[in-house]
Amino acid sequence: MTNGGLVPTGIGGSETNAPQRPVPDPITNPEYFDGVLFKRVIGYWIDVVIIALLICVLFIPGTFLGVLSLGALWAPMMFLLALVPLLYHAALIGGFRAATIGMRTMSVEVRVRDGGKPDFLRAAALTILFYISVMLTSWLVLLVPLFNREKRTLHDLLCDTIVVNVLAHSGTKRA
């Protein structure tokens, strides 16, 4: 998929039809990238706590249904609980604010390289690629941002996304 044939946008497309500004260059606009890597890590751990709470809350009725069904619903329930992190990340990153709750807390957001926001499909691909790459490399894949100026991870590179600071003067901050 492309945006006017100029820049490939990778998986999915941008969610908005509003005019989009290109993602800033880290050399000319370093304020968009200052501390992003640290903020991403802290934001992720905030999200881990939220996801764990969601799973605990959903586990209670799931346990009740599992007991009532004499164990027949245990396997489907475990599968559905495993989808919670995927749905959490995909819905929030692919949503209006293009950031999870942890990312919002740390004032960062995900952008497509053409400046738009990721849609649900791209956000889901981003999330799946993140979990697969972490599983296969035991977190070593997260060293990738240390070697590029935009601090993009492998899953960012594959999905053509970038994480930037939300700046008050950038027009992306919402009240």
DSSP 24: P
Give mean pLDDT, residues 128-133: 95
For residue 58, give the amino acid letter.
L
* 53 domain-assigned: yes
* 64 domain-assigned: yes
For residue 61, give the amino acid letter.
P
As a whole number of angstroms, the distance between CA 130 and CA 91 comes to: 15
Which pLDDT value is given to residue 168? 63
DSSP 12: S
* 13 domain-assigned: no
* 48 domain-assigned: yes
* 8 domain-assigned: no
57 CA to centre of own chain: 22
Helices 84-93 and 74-82 meet at what angle, rounded to 10? 30
* 91 domain-assigned: yes
* 1 domain-assigned: no
Instruction: Give the pairing of strands 7-8 and 2-3.
Output: antiparallel
As a whole number of angstroms, the distance between CA 9 and CA 125 comes to: 13
Q: Which structural domain range is residue 50 located in?
A: 30-170
Which pLDDT value is given to residue 3? 41
* 2 domain-assigned: no
Grade residue 25 by pLDDT with cuts at 50, 70 and 90.
confident
**What is the number of H-type helices and E-type strands within the chain?**
6, 4
Number of domains in the chain: 1
Helix (H) or strand (E) holding 102: helix 101-105
Grade residue 26 by pLDDT with cuts at 50, 70 and 90.
confident
Identify the CA nearest to 173 among candidates 107, 91, 116: 107
Give mean pLDDT, residues 146-165: 93
Which pLDDT value is given to residue 92? 98
